[in-house]
Structure 1
Amino acid sequence: MANGFILLEVLVAMSLVASSWVGLSNTYQGMILRLSQLQEKRAELRKEMDRHELDILTAAQLNHSNQISRKLADESIGMSRRSRPISSLGRTTHKK
C-alpha cells in the first residue's frame, strides 16, 4: 500500500469542511440579522420611553403651574391663607 490519502478520502474531507463552512456562515448571518433587529427594537423602545418621560414631565409641569395659579387665585390681594381670619360661624371647639 502507498503512504498517503486516496482521492475518496480527500473528497470526503473537503466536503465535510465545505459543509461545515456553509453551515457556520448561515448561522453567523442569522445571528447578525437577529442582532440588527434587536438593536432596532431597542432604539424604538428608547424613543418610546423618552416620549413617555417627556409626557410625564409635561403633565407634571402643567399640574405644578395649575397649582400655582390656584394658589394665586385663592390669595385675595396678596394676603395668604395663613394670615386670613378664620370664621368660626359661632362654633367653638373644646379639647378635653
Structure 2
Amino acid sequence: MLFLIQKSKLPLKSNAKANGFILLEVLVAMSLVVSSWMGLSNTYQGVILRLGHLQEKRVELKKEMDRHELSTLNAAQLKNSNQISRKLADESLGMSRWSRPIPGLGRATHKK
C-alpha cells in the first residue's frame, strides 16, 4: 500500500497524452460546421428563389401561348364563317350547289 501512495505523489509528466479535446479544438470544429451550414443555406435559398422566378415566367409564357392560340383560332373561325356565308349567298335558295344539275350531262360528249 505504501507503493500506491508513493506512486500517487509522483508529478505528472509533461509528455503525457491528454485525454479528450481542448476547448480551442471544439470551437474550431464548431465554427467550421456553422460556416459550411450557413454557406449551404444561402446557396439553397438562392436556388429556391431562382426556381420560383422561373416557374412564374413559365406560367406567363404558357398563358401568352394560350392567348395567341385562341386569337389564331378565332381568326380562323371568323375567316371560315365569312367563306361559308359567301358560299351560302352564292347558292340559290332551297337548293344546294351539290344537288343542282350539272350542265352538259344530258348531251353526249363523244361523237361517233
TM range (shorter): 0.7 to 0.9
Is 1:8 aligned to residue 24 of structure 2?
Answer: yes
* Unmatched segments (≥5 aa) in structure 2: 1-16
Question: Aligned Cα RMSD in Å?
Answer: 2.0
SS at match of 2:20: coil
Residue number in structure 2 paired with 1:24: 40
Matches of 1:85 and 1:74 in 2, distance apart?
16
Higher mean Cα deviation, 3-12 or 19-28? Answer: 3-12
Is 1:39 matched with 2:44?
no
TM-score (norm 1): 0.79
How far the C-alpha of 1:7 sits from its partner, in A, is 2.1
Deviation at 1:85, TM superposition (A): 4.7
Task: Give the structure 1 partner of residue 80 of structure 2.
Answer: 64
More helix by share: 1
Three-state SS of the structure 2 residue aligned to 1:79 is coil
Count of residues in correspondence between the two structures = 92
User: 3-state SS of the aligned residue for 1:29?
Assistant: helix
Residue 86 of structure 1 deviates from its aligned partner by: 4.5
> 1:72 deviation in Å?
0.8
Moved over 6 A (4+): none
Q: For residue 55 of structure 1, report the CA deviation from its aligned partner.
A: 0.9
Q: Based on CA coordinates, which of the two structures has the bigger radius of gyration?
A: 2
Identity over the aligned pairs, expressed in percent?
80
